Every structure is written in structure tokens, then in C-alpha cells.
Chain A
Amino acid sequence: MEIKILGPGCPNCQDLERRVKQALQELNVQAEVVKVTDYAEIGKYIMTTPGVVINEKLKHEGKPLPRMEKIKEWIQEENK
């Protein structure tokens, strides 16, 4: 599984990355977490940061950040 965190590195994006990594750890799932900071690349997926893309599927865009339960749901969906 590949998880992309879209954001230029503002505090929100860092917080989101932390949450995703924590969710993976708690679920004991292996995934490659990629930080996408280039606006040319971010612009392909979303209009407002931060964003989450799992296996090339857009899961989240903008603020407020997704809750832990939500992130776990996505991971489990994609992990089947």
C-alpha cells in the first residue's frame, strides 16, 4: 500500500502525517508513506491542503484534519 500525504510542510501536514503513521502502527499494517511537497504534484489531486491519497485514490482534502477512526477505516478498506 502506498499512502501519499499532500502538503507543503505546514504544521497541519505534519500533524496529518503523524496521525497516519500512528494509525498504521496501531493497526499493524505495513505501508509506504510518501510526503508530497511539490505544488505541481499536489495540484493534480487537490485544491486545498493537506490531502491524503491511498493507492492513488483521493481520501481527504483540506481542514479540519480527519479523525483517527476515519484514517483507520481507509487503511482497512485498502488493505483487504
Chain B
Amino acid sequence: MFKWFADYVTYQLLHLPQGNHLADSLNFFLYDVPKIYFLLAVVVFLVAIIRTYLPPERIRRILSHEKEFIGNITAAALGIFTPFCTCSAIPLFIGMLESGVPLGVTMSFLVSSPTINEVALVMLWGLFGWRVAVIYILSGMFIAISSGFIIGRLKMERYVEEFVFKVKAQQEGFEEKLTWKDRLSYAAEYVREIFSQVWLYVLLGVGLGAFIHGYVPVEFVTRYAGNGNPFAVIIAVLIGVPLYSNAASTIPVVQALFSKGLALGTTLAFMMAVTALSLPEFIILRKVLKPRLLLTYFGTVAAGIIIIGYLFNLIL
């Protein structure tokens, strides 16, 4: 359906010849933008419905009953459905530690929550297909579980700022009984909000991606960042970290580079570095973590991303 629309506009309505750079770019743009908007609406809506069953209060309760390891896995899985940016997840992080959730388990949640989010998934699904989206989820969970587990083993509790353990929640958070109508209207509201935040970035990202598709030659990418370059993954991570988590505009550009010969492992590593690690996040986390723990956190996550990158470059 989306393909038909793109072909119709490019070749019938505008009479552009096939194989021409402009036609290629335009066709790509017209195909991807409606498709992504459609997926975004459907996926965000469904995730939002699931989320109404997982208010932060409940996540805290679930995780406070878990032991290490199983707890790390549960935390990483719950993080998928709660795409909090780091700044909005910190009060939950504080609440979890205060109610006795092990530090390593909270770390798994803190990694998984921003890394695996519905906007990134939609962009991956729409542009790379569902297989890559699934690989992304599994790799993200792997990194969240392993880095959380390592930090737990290192017993770094004393490197959390002292005030965190002293915060006592005065009020019980809301846990009202929700009707189906409430859940649906919550989800609709969520879709509206996500749309108002990302529609422009999708447009810009896909636009730039479309330009690369049509005009940048394949040799350009393979020469600098193809499989032949052993440092490609590390360079990708170093570039990705300072870019602040905007999956909507990053992923289309990365996909275009991927189609021009960028290796999948390098591609994944770059996207994860963009979503999981960022400078603003570093600054926010510094408020609750002492430098040593903060560096360990960034170090283990970055190492995990680099390993994933090389692993996929090796096996694919």
C-alpha cells in the first residue's frame, strides 16, 4: 500500500523517470514517511496500553521481590515498556533503591529503559525490517542485564549519593483503578504527544536519509566505515555518545548508510550509543551517582555496545 502510493506519486503524478537520482530519493521519502507515521501510531498506542498496567509504583514492587540475576532480567524486560528518558526515571531509581532493590538490578533498568524505546523500535522496524528490530531488543537487553550484573557484583552501593537512601516517599503514588476507557484515552493522548515531539525529526531524518540514498555513492561509505576498517565500531560509538538520543532522526540516516555498505554491527553499535549514552544523561546521573560509579556505568555499557558491534560484524 505504502509502496504503491510512493510509486504512484513519483512515476505517475510527477512523471519522473525510474533510476534518476531525484526520483530515487523522492520515492524513498514518500514510501518511508507515511509508513513510519503509521507504525508509530500503532506501536505507540499498543505500548501505551501495556504501560497502563505497569505504573512506576508497580515496577518498584515487582523488582523489590527479585533476587540478583533474575532481577536483572526482569528489570531489563520491564525497561522495554517504560521508555522513560533518564531524567524522568531517576525518581524511580531513587524509589527502588530506597525500597531495597539491589543496585545492579536498578542499573539494568536504567540502561534498558532509555535504550529500548518504542520510537527507536518503530524506526528500526520500518526501515530495517522486524529482524533487525528484534536483534536490537535482544542486544539491548543483553547489555542491560550484563552491565547491571557486573555493577551488582562490584558492590558499589557506597558510590551512590547518600541522600538517595534517605528519601522517604511521603505519599503513595497514584494507583487508581483504571477503566478501559481510561486506558484508551491515555494511549491516545500518548500517541498525540509522541507525534507532536517526533514528526518533524522523522521528516528531517528520512529526508536526509533519502538524499544519501539517491546521491551518496556506495564506495564512499565502504571505504571509510566498511568491514575492512577494524576501528569502525569504536569510532561509531565515539561519534554516537555526544549525539543526544534522537532515534527519530538518527535511524533513517544510519539506515541509508547501512544500505550503502555500513556493516550491521557497526550500525547497531552506533544506534545504541546514541540512545543509551549521552552527555546530558551523564550530567543528570551525576546528581545521584558518584563519579566512580558513573564512570563504571558508562564504561560497562560502552564495552557492551562495542562487543555487540564486533559480534554482529563477525557473524554476519
The interface residues of chain A lying within 8 Å CB-to-CB of B56 are: 47-48, 61-62
Within the assembled complex, what's the spacing in Å between the Cα atoms of A65 and B288? 25
In the complex the two chains form, is B170's CB within 8 Å of A39's CB? no
Within the assembled complex, what's the spacing in Å between the Cα atoms of A40 and B164? 7
- Nearest CB in chain A: distance from B32 CB, A: 26
B200: CB under 8 A from chain A?
no
The interface residues of chain A lying within 8 Å CB-to-CB of B287 are: 8, 39
- Nearest CB in chain A: distance from B190 CB, A: 5
B163: CB under 8 A from chain A?
yes
Which of A10, A43, A67 has a CB less than 8 Å from the CB of B95? A43
Within the assembled complex, what's the spacing in Å between the Cα atoms of A62 and B288? 20
The interface residues of chain B lying within 8 Å CB-to-CB of A49 are: 87-88, 90-91
B60: CB under 8 A from chain A?
yes
Report, as a range, how many residues of chain B touch the other chain.
Answer: 20 to 34
- Nearest CB in chain A: distance from B238 CB, A: 25
B243: CB under 8 A from chain A?
no
A5: CB under 8 A from chain B?
no
In the complex the two chains form, is A63's CB within 8 Å of B92's CB? no
The A interface is mostly helix, strand or loop, or mixed, namely: loop
- Nearest CB in chain A: distance from B99 CB, A: 11
- Chain A 37-79 near chain B by CB (<8 Å), digits 1 or 0: 0011011111111100000001001111101000000000000
In the complex the two chains form, is B167's CB within 8 Å of A64's CB? no
In the complex the two chains form, is A45's CB within 8 Å of B167's CB? no
Within 8 A of A (CB), among B152-188: 163-164, 166-171, 173-174, 186
- Nearest CB in chain A: distance from B78 CB, A: 13
In the complex the two chains form, is A63's CB within 8 Å of B170's CB? no
In the complex the two chains form, is A62's CB within 8 Å of B171's CB? no
- Nearest CB in chain A: distance from B75 CB, A: 15
Closest to A60 in B: B174
In the complex the two chains form, is B189's CB within 8 Å of A48's CB? no
In the complex the two chains form, is A8's CB within 8 Å of B95's CB? no
Within the assembled complex, what's the spacing in Å between the Cα atoms of A41 and B91? 10
Contacts A10-B85, A10-B87 known; A47 to B189 CB distance under 8 Å?
A: no
The interface residues of chain A lying within 8 Å CB-to-CB of B189 are: 64, 67
Within the assembled complex, what's the spacing in Å between the Cα atoms of A41 and B229? 49
Query: Which 4 A-B residue pairings sit nearest by Cβ, starting from the closest?
Result: A47-B56, A43-B167, A64-B193, A43-B94
8 contacts between A and B (CB under 8 A): A10-B88, A39-B90, A39-B167, A43-B169, A47-B56, A48-B91, A48-B92, A49-B87
